[in-house]
Amino acid sequence: MNRLKTGVVVGALAMWTASVAAQGSYPNKPIRLIVPIVAGGPSDAVARALAKGLSAGLGQQVLVENRPGGNTGIGAGAVLSAAPDGYTLLFALASNAGLPHLSKAAPYKSLMEFSPISTLGGNTQCLVVPSSVPAKTLAEFASHAKSSAQPLMRGSNNVSEDMVAGQITGALGFKLERVPYKGAPQMFPDLLEGRLQAAVLPLGASLPHVRSGRLTMLGCSMAERVASLPTVPTLAESGVSASPLVTAHFVLGPPKLPSEIIERLSAAVRQAALAGDFKQEMEQLMIFGPVRSPAETRELMLQAEAQYAQYVRETGASID
């Protein structure tokens, strides 16, 4: 019996020592950064810029892997079931916090199941319409939608867009028919040609088309106007009283990720975000917000989840 107990203790000690050693040398192989949306949009661009900075800071390649589908659930599910060793990470959108509330098919019941690592700035969501739509303000668009003989079509590829659209239509009393897309790059041709009459899209993604005159930006979900876009109103200024959407990009790990790995990755994210080329990329994409610690990330995840939960309770919204 004593030999058996001794063997168990020695075995456990050996496993603990190996685990500590592995964490101490982390990372010693490439890391996968799962992005749960299609390639080509602003969030994908942020992920790739971050992966470049992390690769330099960690001394190992960080490989972006796009896993779209299931309203971001497929990619998130892949990380949820991954080993908690720091070699599979999730580049989540704040809308991932809303998925369990909007869809019974979500692979997780709460975003809090994941291990929070860091937060980067998020996409400011804006309502845009093609130039063929006779509206220059949100009030004019609401009036146009109410008087239209046919329902106006709104492209959507993200639950955060659905939430902002719901806030707008609920406040101003009109309806839009939702048309799902895999991503913004797939949506733009139909929007620019007027086959869609509206979309809620990230500020940075839609801005080039606004400046070219092909899209009109009617309002954005933000607390105050962007200094470089003084003529674009906030939604609150246009009669939408709902709180601005929590926007962020979360870097998350699988459940039970060791704290040593979390701290290593958090420091690497902060270092990457300080690089001049990363800051320039964020400015071009019009993405704003601080880099946050694991504890701060957890708090923002809770805020995002609470906002979506309240929205679903009040509206009964669903994407199933």
Residues 247, 289: Cα–Cα separation, whole Å: 9
User: Given a cut of 80, is residue 4 above it in pLDDT?
Assistant: no
Instruction: Please give the CATH architecture assigned to the domain spanning 125-238.
Output: 3-Layer(aba) Sandwich (3.40)
The per-residue pLDDT for range 92-122, each reduced to its tens digit, is 999 999 999 999 999 999 999 999 999 999 9
> Which residue type sits at 288?
F
Angle at 309 between CA 171 and CA 311, to 5 degrees: 5
Q: Which residue has the higher pLDDT, 141 or 245?
A: 141
User: Given a cut of 80, is residue 9 above it in pLDDT?
Assistant: no
pLDDT at residue 219, rounded to an integer: 96
Q: Which residues fall within 8 angstroms of residue 314, CB to CB, at 6 or more apart? A: none
Give the residue extent of every domain in the chain.
26-122+247-315, 125-238
The per-residue pLDDT for range 60-77, each reduced to its tens digit, is 999 999 999 898 999 999
pLDDT at residue 183, rounded to an integer: 85
**HSE-up (13 A, CA, CB side) for residue 286:** 20
Tokens of 64: 């972006």
User: Given a cut of 90, is residue 318 above it in pLDDT?
Assistant: no
**What average pLDDT score do residues 124-153 get?**
96
Tokens of 247: 């926007």
The per-residue pLDDT for range 185-220, each reduced to its tens digit, is 899 999 999 999 999 999 999 999 999 999 999 999
The per-residue pLDDT for range 160-185, each reduced to its tens digit, is 898 999 999 999 999 999 999 988 88
Average model confidence (pLDDT) for the chain?
91
Residues 87, 114: Cα–Cα separation, whole Å: 14
Write out the H or E segment, with its range, that includes residue 118.
strand 115-120
Question: What are the DSSP calls for 182-249, one per residue?
Answer: S-HHHHHHHHHTTSS-EEEEEHHHHHHHHHTTSEEEEEESSSS--TT-TTS-BTGGGT--SPPPP--E
pLDDT at residue 171, rounded to an integer: 93
Closest CA to 256 of 80, 13, 29: 80
Residues 68, 320: Cα–Cα separation, whole Å: 17
Tell me the whole-structure pTM to 2 decimals. 0.86
Residues 96, 164: Cα–Cα separation, whole Å: 15
Q: Do domains 26-122+247-315 and 125-238 have the same CATH topology?
A: yes
Q: Which residues fall within 8 angstroms of residue 171, CB to CB, at 6 or more apart? A: 239, 240, 241, 242
User: Given a cut of 50, is residue 16 above it in pLDDT?
Assistant: no
Cis peptide before 27 (omega within 30 of 0): yes
pLDDT at residue 2, rounded to an integer: 52
The per-residue pLDDT for range 251-305, each reduced to its tens digit, is 999 999 999 999 999 999 999 999 999 999 999 999 988 999 999 999 999 999 9
- φ, ψ (nearest 5 deg) of residue 128: -125, 150
CA dihedral 257, 47, 285, 168 (to 10 degrees): -60
Closest CA to 199 of 188, 207, 210: 188
Question: Under CATH, what is the fold of the domain 26-122+247-315?
Answer: D-Maltodextrin-Binding Protein; domain 2 (3.40.190)
Share of the chain above pLDDT 70, in %: 92
pLDDT at residue 11, rounded to an integer: 46
> Which residue type sits at 119?
T
pLDDT at residue 24, rounded to an integer: 67
Question: What are the DSSP calls for 249-287, one per residue?
Answer: EEEEE-TT--HHHHHHHHHHHHHHHTSHHHHHHHHHHT-
